[in-house]
A and B are shown apart, each in its own frame.
Chain A
């Protein structure tokens, strides 16, 4: 049995629901760090950045699921919905910290979204993710039908790309980190354009619809 099969066999026994739990606990823990002064003397900005970064990291993981299966046979597809919804939770937390704790007024929020392109695209990405989060359940897949649901969830691609550009754009100077994320996102999206090998046979049939 090769490594992929062994991994797939092992993960089959792991449920996906702990992902939600870990995500929520992590977000809450970061918030508590901020409240208790453990994120430095400027916790609002620190929390904003931490939530945003975790969101981007989880979104990169979500984008990696399909190429991983196509190119290595390792299937983490059963965790993808949980990861996607968790990522959205962090995007929402990132947005709320920015809007409520940082800007503190509707006029400022509106002004910033209109005036600053990096915020405009970040907000755009957030809006794109909302319908995806809402339809991340079996009932929605049934209602929309698999094909329409998959088409809708292709919004993930522009949303994550905009999120990575948002990161590159907001930093001062040219630090490497945001470019690494942008590079990873572009790489994972580009992999989808490469003619695929025949997907390695999955060891377990999946109940949920999958989008590629």
Chain B
């Protein structure tokens, strides 16, 4: 034996040591450390989102208003893109070469391995062309999406639009991922949670080149998308369309409410836009144009425009005075071309004595100056200030100075000033008196209301003292849930005081009583209404009108505002009565069709175009 044979032990020891180190290392790696399992799964799993179709929207009579249309996004994974004919792709999709190149550069910058959207919202027609040639574009694939489509191209402000989710929204709600659609305004936004449905997921195994190799776990982990819930709105799509036609070429708004339920039948803000203007690729062009328009078509006047209510507010003061028992329906006040106290004067058109009935029909200012003073200066109250506070309480019970429609997030509350407001501004050094704030008696001065609030006020009148929460959605199909609790709001006026006020409102249309809106009389329908003129410091006054009908069983309450329309009787009253007639009778009787024609054609906006209405 050679002298170094013992060295075999050292060598065997080294070999054994390496073996043991390997086994220990493998044990750590495979058995103790579980993170690698997850990494391996992440490596091969590709999650593909299956988009659910968005809930449909119906009108109150079950007419389909909003549905979905297929559109296709073209995606590409930069690493997989082979040689392809850019010109061919551009001609199929009808877009410029530069746009595709820009998208591809952006996609490469984002990730070479992950797909990016190259062209959005390809129409089904173009998709059909593209599909045949798809094999010529390696690395590209198409993902189906849905776009909104409208049967009635109206109600834009009610419905709102669907847009791509913004980064801040994605932060707030992890449901949304880059490129998802979300309701941005209107009920698309309010009811987003119900309309969107639930995204589905499919898992695919991919190889290192991100090529799909098959479904994962035989599709057991896949989740099918759940279709969004359909909505039934309170809107009458035909009435809405009619309202929008009447308001063409005017800055105006209409709100119509069903008094017995609080359901909003129609909500029009003009000038507006077509819902289809905000869909898909059209929005890219239309949105900046609408934002830049000086007539503010995106501005929802029906819930955000603030006007003094004008003479339509007179019923409010009459009812408060009756409730506080400072007048009776037979109380008479003298109008002597207005109301005059010392050097103070508030103009009017009459030279006669008025009772409640005629004061409404002929809209006498002096009558309400007396009435308002009687309320505030009543001996029931310690002083005028306390009287004002009581008056304000009554007014607020009609839903003024607060937001009343929870579904409409951008609604403004308007303003009925608090007593503190007048304390600081009007009576800082003197005691409270009624005279400095006497314009409140005829709905002018500091008070501000929205068309929605005035329609709601009309509904409360129709109901003789209560109103239901105004709302836009009747039902979310397939669920018992609701977003809005429709509550009955009781005003502070007892129902017994309304009939006399209604008499006056009905006589507004009466020739015999020289009613202010007698020209808008609708034979066959007992309408209660009231004209108003909202003071406009910027130009011609605004024409307003509120009404409900039929008197015996009110089905519709309406408020109409037409900016720069001057008298309530010139525009607002005809439009309101046409709307009522249309809603109740479904058609306009022959004797009134010339009014309909005049209203639709009247142009208050563009002096250079036909039918421009010049106010003398």
Indicate, yes or no, whether A interacts with B.
no
Residues of chain A touching chain B, judged by Cβ–Cβ distance below 8 Å, are none
